[in-house]
Amino acid sequence: MPMLDHLWIILALPLAGAAINGLLGKNWPKSAVNSVAIGSVSLAFLAVVETVREFLQLPANQVPWVRTYFPWMTAGIFKVNFALQVDQLTIVMLLTVTFVGTLIHIYSTGYMAHEGGYYRFFSYLNLFMFFMLTLVLAANIVVMFVGWEGVGLCSYLLVGFWFLKPSAINAGKKAFITTRIGDFGFTIGILLLFWTFHSVDFGTIFSQVSGMPSDTMTQAGVLTTICILLFIGAVGKSAQLPLYVWLPDAMEGPTPVSALIHAATMVTAGVYMVARMHPLFSRAPIAMLIVAIVGAATAFYSATIGLVQTDIKKVLAYSTVSQLGYMFLACGVGAYTAGIFHLMTHAFFKGLLFLCAGSVIHAMGGEQDMRKMGGLRKVIPVTFWTMFIATFAISGVPGFAGFFSKDEILEAAQSGPHANLPLWLLGLVAAGLTSFYMFRLIFLTFFGKQQFDEHKVHVHESPKNMTVPLMVLAFFAIFGGWFAAPKLVGGTNYFDAYLHPVFAAYEVQTSVGQEEAAARPAGEEGGASPAMDLVHALTGPPVIVGLIGILLAWWFYIRRPDLPKKLASSMYGLYTLVLHKYYVDEIYAAVIVRPLLWVSTNVLWHTVDEGLIDGTVNGSARLARETGGKLRELQSGNARSYASWVVVGAVGVTALLLGIWMKVH
Amino acid sequence: MNVVPISYYLVLSAILFGLGVVAFVFKRNIITIFMSIELMLNAVNLAFVAFARAHNQLDGLIFVFFVIVIAAAEAAVGLAIVITIAHNRRSLNVENVDLLKF
């Protein structure tokens, strides 16, 4: 098992790539930078493939496979090892991250070809891969936290990649600071975990948890507290209500970054973390409910904002927030596999959507406003067709990847063990909104009249190194969800079945029930005949709602292009409210940012810093100076005054001695 | 035989020393100041001699010789300085010699 013994190689490859490009790449030709960057990630991908091959041969009792490389921190009973682990969940994440990551690296060589700081971009991108893989491979929550913070750092660096643009710098800062609020909760959660279990290793924690009684809806114990704190971290990282505000702004970064970090991988870290910590969450029903509510609310809320955005990347950003909400909804109703499944398919189709958007922007020479596009279908056919496929996938059209995963989530919300009908309805409406705004995007961009001047904008299809990743991802946007397909005809959902051991191991059950659950393949349902299942799935509410959304978009933007304006003016108040994203940024600015700035400026800066700290330092300096100033006047240069001082001193010493002498005698 | 008690010498020595100090502090003429230094040195010498006599020891006398030698050396250097100051400033007032300050 060479690869399984040396899991660190998967991490070392992108890290080495980042170091080489970052330190040496400045004056290298682009081809050299390319080969280092793409070479390192694609080698990492191959290493992952080899890991998967070896992992498949592993007997079940050796899963999760944990490798400890060196003790990292030891302080009393607080011991942290640099340990990596592989289980089925890790495998899914590893494959997704390295595969999509490699494609986006290749795409970036085309997209960033004319940009300055080329080596810097790829160095950051590789560094991001390193941290993301650390996060995924971690065998304890502290190592996971390293990756967690590291991807945040890379996100900051890449959002603010064009560091001469004030909006980009601000967006980077916003991303960093907003996620820091969540990380505050996450950090306390880690401390509380250690406080409770005296360990930070997943294995140790989980085996202790499985012996603990569950919290109930009415009685919230330490597990609930831990889960809520950890979830606060996930809310920040995965851009959920109320901390989602940084993600749309993060679109200031280059589009491949949006695709890789702000759609496919980093923002899904929160979902991965919740899934990883499922033994705790499963025992904290209140926390689960909060996760589900936040997820469903976010899915619906940001979908409504996506309806009226005109910036092509902003639509996708709100769509990402919305889809992440779906994943949390899945976790919240206990359907972790569905959440991870959606995470994977989402990585394919949303990564693809962003890359296509990048290709469109590239073709339009930097234009991002959809109202100024139109009719691009014939001009950039590859981009059009791949984006069309991705849109079908995200809208949940049967047969495409998103259909399987989204269907599974909504099914779990409707009839799973933690079913919650209001949340299911919310998710269902959000599904309709999703297909509406996605097809709005497609129709505005690729159909209708050309809204730009052909002589001014030289529209051209992107080069091969951009279109090939698009086509590969499009393939997976269609077939990436087919692991679940047999279920439609009464068979096994292979994805569920594959992940089943991870989530079954610590299920809240008696020991007998546990074995039973492990023995039973997931997704197996008795009752209806296979054909009925198929018909049922293809005509289920999610599909119907999705089709309604598509038809409405067609009606509004192809058939009657004048309608949106009329509707907007007839519902002016609501329209402006949504157009301005419910004024959340403004409210945050008024309620949090400005008071904070005021306090910082007037209290912390002018009073504490300038008054207290500077005052103390300067005050002691002034005291010394003034004392010195007075004392130096003793040095008058007048010999007689010196003599007087000598006399005074002599008299003083004599008097002292006399005093002592008198006391003695 | 009648021996003058040591306290007489010491009191005289103290008076002489005190006069020297007062003169040193209050006089302005540099030569007078110089003389008051000599006065103080000799007041101390007197005390040394008196103690040496009273205790019948030679140490005090040896000290006195050292003091006389130093006083001589000091007089040589000091008077040279006085002459230079007088030469440069046309004045012997120490109030005017105060550049070495701050």
Q: With an 8 Å Cβ cutoff, is B92 touching chain A? A: no
Local structure of A166: helix, strand or coil: helix
Q: What's the rounded mean pLDDT across residues B58-79? A: 93
Q: How far is B52 from chain A (nearest CA, A)?
A: 22
Structure confidence by residue, pLDDT tens digits, A368-380: 888 888 888 888 8
Q: Which chain B residues have a beta carbon less than 8 Å from that of A644?
A: 25
- Is A638 close to B24, i.e. CB distance below 8 A? no
> pLDDT higher for A460 or A508?
A460
Phi-psi region of A198 (alpha: psi -120 to 50; beta: other; left: phi over 0): left
Between CA A151 and CA A90 the distance in angstroms is 17
**What domain range includes position B67?**
28-96
Q: With an 8 Å Cβ cutoff, is B87 touching chain A? A: no
Q: How many CB pairs under 8 A join A and B?
A: 33
Banded model confidence at residue A298, pLDDT cuts 50, 70, 90: very high
Local structure of A85: helix, strand or coil: strand
- Is B16 domain-assigned? no
Banded model confidence at residue A96, pLDDT cuts 50, 70, 90: very high
- How much is the pLDDT for A521? 45
- Is B33 close to A640, i.e. CB distance below 8 A? yes
- Is A640 close to B24, i.e. CB distance below 8 A? yes
Between CA B69 and CA A647 the distance in angstroms is 24
Q: Can you give the pTM of this predicted structure?
A: 0.79
Between CA A278 and CA A291 the distance in angstroms is 12
- Is B98 close to A637, i.e. CB distance below 8 A? yes
The partner residue sitting opposite A637, judged by closest CB among B21, B24, B100, is B100
Q: With an 8 Å Cβ cutoff, is B33 touching chain A? A: yes
Between CA B94 and CA B37 the distance in angstroms is 14
Q: With an 8 Å Cβ cutoff, is B71 touching chain A? A: no
The partner residue sitting opposite A647, judged by closest CB among B25, B95, B101, is B25
Banded model confidence at residue A509, pLDDT cuts 50, 70, 90: low
Rg (CA), chain B: 17
DSSP designation for A462: P
Give, in degrees to the nearest 5, the angle at Cα A483 between A480 and A488. Answer: 115
- C-alpha A334: how far from chain center: 21
Between CA A336 and CA A501 the distance in angstroms is 12
Residue A182 in this model has a pLDDT that exceeds 60: yes
Banded model confidence at residue A518, pLDDT cuts 50, 70, 90: very low
Q: With an 8 Å Cβ cutoff, is B20 touching chain A? A: no
DSSP designation for A116: S
Q: To the nearest whole percent, how much of chain A has pLDDT over 90? A: 46
Banded model confidence at residue A512, pLDDT cuts 50, 70, 90: very low
Q: What's the rounded mean pLDDT across residues A311-319? A: 91
Task: Check the CA dihedral B24-B27-B28-B32 and report its sign.
Answer: negative
Structure confidence by residue, pLDDT tens digits, A589-608: 888 889 989 999 998 888 99
The partner residue sitting opposite A643, judged by closest CB among B24, B95, B99, is B24
- Is A638 close to B98, i.e. CB distance below 8 A? yes
- How much is the pLDDT for A514? 41
Banded model confidence at residue A231, pLDDT cuts 50, 70, 90: very high
Residue A501 in this model has a pLDDT that exceeds 70: yes
- How much is the pLDDT for B20? 92
Task: Name A531's Cβ contacts closer than 8 Å, sequence gap at least 6.
Answer: A489
- Is B1 domain-assigned? no
- How much is the pLDDT for A438? 92
Residue A623 in this model has a pLDDT that exceeds 90: yes
Axis crossing angle, helix A464-479 with helix A88-111, rounded to the nearest 10: 150
Between CA A529 and CA A467 the distance in angstroms is 42
Residue A491 in this model has a pLDDT that exceeds 80: no
Phi-psi region of A375 (alpha: psi -120 to 50; beta: other; left: phi over 0): left
DSSP designation for A219: -
Q: With an 8 Å Cβ cutoff, is A647 touching chain B? A: yes
Q: How far is A642 from chain B (nearest CA, A)?
A: 9
Banded model confidence at residue A515, pLDDT cuts 50, 70, 90: very low
- How much is the pLDDT for A526? 45
The partner residue sitting opposite A640, judged by closest CB among B25, B99, B100, is B25
Q: What's the rounded mean pLDDT across residues B37-65? A: 92
Check if the beta carbon of residue A315 is closer than 8 Å to that of residue A307: no
Q: What's the rounded mean pLDDT across residues A532-543? A: 75
What value does the mean pLDDT of chain A take? 87
- Is B101 domain-assigned? no
DSSP per position, A23-39 = HHGGGS-HHHHHHHHHH
Task: Give the count of alpha carbons within 13 A of A166, CB side only.
Answer: 0
- Is B82 domain-assigned? yes
Between CA A63 and CA A61 the distance in angstroms is 6
Between CA B83 and CA B78 the distance in angstroms is 9
At residue A643, what is the residue type? A
Structure confidence by residue, pLDDT tens digits, A147-178: 999 999 999 999 999 888 899 999 999 999 99
Q: With an 8 Å Cβ cutoff, is A627 touching chain B? A: no
Structure confidence by residue, pLDDT tens digits, A246-282: 998 899 889 999 998 888 889 999 999 999 999 999 8
- How much is the pLDDT for A513? 41
- Is B101 close to A644, i.e. CB distance below 8 A? no
- How much is the pLDDT for B1? 56
Q: With an 8 Å Cβ cutoff, is B24 touching chain A? A: yes
Residue A522 in this model has a pLDDT that exceeds 70: no
- Is B74 domain-assigned? yes
Banded model confidence at residue A510, pLDDT cuts 50, 70, 90: very low
A residues 91-120 lying closer than 8 A (beta carbon) to B = none
Q: With an 8 Å Cβ cutoff, is A632 touching chain B? A: yes
Other C-beta atoms lying within 10 Å of the C-beta of residue A111: 24
Q: Which residues pair with B84 in a beta bridge?
A: none
- Is B50 domain-assigned? yes
Q: Which chain B residues have a beta carbon less than 8 Å from that of A640?
A: 24-26, 28, 33, 94-95
Residue A194 in this model has a pLDDT that exceeds 70: yes
- How much is the pLDDT for A319? 93
Banded model confidence at residue B102, pLDDT cuts 50, 70, 90: low
Q: Which tokens hold the place of A223?
A: 């597990």
Q: Which chain A residues have a beta carbon less than 8 Å from that of B33?
A: 639-640
Q: Which chain A residues have a beta carbon less than 8 Å from that of B28?
A: 640
Check if the beta carbon of residue B100 is closer than 8 Å to that of residue A637: yes
Q: Which chain B residues have a beta carbon less than 8 Å from that of A628?
A: none
- Is B11 domain-assigned? no
Residue A181 in this model has a pLDDT that exceeds 60: yes
- Is B102 close to A632, i.e. CB distance below 8 A? yes
- How much is the pLDDT for A511? 39
Q: With an 8 Å Cβ cutoff, is B100 touching chain A? A: yes
Q: What is the CATH number of the domain that holds B53?
A: 1.10.287.3510
Question: What total number of domains does chain B contain?
Answer: 1
Q: How far is B33 from chain A (nearest CA, A)?
A: 9
- Is B13 domain-assigned? no
Banded model confidence at residue B5, pLDDT cuts 50, 70, 90: confident
